Amino acid sequence: MKSFQLVWHFFSEQIKWATWFYGILVILTIGMTIAANHWGFFDNLDTRNTTSTIFILIIGLLYSYWFLDHYFKLGVSRKKYFKAALFATAMLSIVLALVTTIIITLFETIVPNLGFAVPWTDLLTENGSLFVIQSFVDYSFYHFVYLLIGWFMGIGFYRFRWRFGLLFIILSFPFIGITEFLQNKAGVAHTMKFFTANPQIISIGPYLIFLIMIAILIVSNYRLTKDAPIRL
């Protein structure tokens, strides 16, 4: 099997799951919008990240337990699997970010036109199209990092079982903490101003930290995958 076929197969499997997840999410959001407008429940939903983050993290956790195991037993080498997984991760992160952005934008556009109020306050569309694009890029990075974190935890459990597997969860905490911190870029910018007054460095700072974390996670995941014993 050629590498691009494997990437596509991998990606298609993930998209199947994502379709289910986003389908349910859209239905729930419609229900919550109705509930918020009629009864005043859920008047400030956090639709931006938390929902898709959980999904992404679970997908990442399944990378070893499901995908590595599955593809290896079909004759795919660990290295080939790793490359395919990485490309599929990047594709999934971008596609899910795009879907998230589109869903939120559509909600914020359609719901007020139907005479309902959007059940969240921090609107994505109220700051113009550039902010929407920036949010899309942010979501992509965010998804990518969370997928890699989930993958990291999953391969830790897969290789070392429960006792050392738990250690990988602890090791993931700094990555999760920094990722959440970077979501609030004002905080990062404030920290960076302490070291430099250059606005360009300050604005690319969060992305640089994201990239460093991504590099660390990719290298770690590769080293843990390349000679992992496959479970029988």
Partner 1 sequence: MSYAIEAKEVSVQYKGFTAIDQVSFQLQAGKIHGLLGRNGAGKTTLLSVLSAFRKADAGSLIIDGENPFENPRIMQDTVFIFDQQKDLEYTYDKVDEMLKEMAYFRPNFDEAYAFELVKKFKLPLNKKVNQLSKGKKSAFQAIIGLASRAPLTIFDEAYVGMDAPTREIFYKEILNDQEVYPRTIIFSTHLVSEADYLFDEVLMIHNGKVLLQDTNEQVISKGFSLTGSLEQIDAFSKDLDVLNSQVLGGTKSVTVYGELSEKQRNAANQAGIEIGVLSLHDLFVHLTKEEDE
**Residues in the site for partner 1, rule: CB under 8 A?**
1, 5, 9, 66, 69, 72-80, 226-227, 229-230, 232
By CB neighbour count within 10 A (0-12 exposed, 13-18 middle, 19+ buried), where does 183 fall?
middle
CB of 217 to partner 1, least distance (A): 22
Place of tokens 């870029």: 185
Q: How far apart are CA 85 and CA 73, in angstroms?
A: 16
3-39 vs 78-113: helix axis angle to the nearest 10?
30
Q: Which is nearer to partner 1, 43 or 69 (CB)?
A: 69
Phi-psi group of 65: left, alpha or beta (phi > 0 → left; psi -120 to 50 → alpha; rest → beta)? alpha
Q: Which is nearer to partner 1, 186 or 232 (CB)?
A: 232
| Residues contacting residue 226 through CB under 8 Å, at least 6 positions apart | 78, 79, 82
Q: Which is nearer to partner 1, 79 or 223 (CB)?
A: 79
CB of 172 to partner 1, least distance (A): 25
Q: Please report, for residues 105, 116, 135, the alpha-carbon distance to residue 108 in angstroms, rounded to integers and kept in the order given.
A: 5, 10, 15
Q: Which is nearer to partner 1, 49 or 225 (CB)?
A: 225
Q: Which is nearer to partner 1, 154 or 205 (CB)?
A: 154
Pair of tokens at residue 87: 């490309």
Q: Which is nearer to partner 1, 23 or 112 (CB)?
A: 23
Q: Which is nearer to partner 1, 85 or 202 (CB)?
A: 85
Q: How far apart are CA 116 and CA 33, in angstroms?
A: 8
Pair of tokens at residue 143: 């998804």
CB of 28 to partner 1, least distance (A): 23
CB of 6 to partner 1, least distance (A): 9
Q: Please report, for residues 85, 171, 173, 180, the alpha-carbon distance to residue 166 in angstroms, rounded to integers and kept in the order given.
A: 23, 9, 11, 21
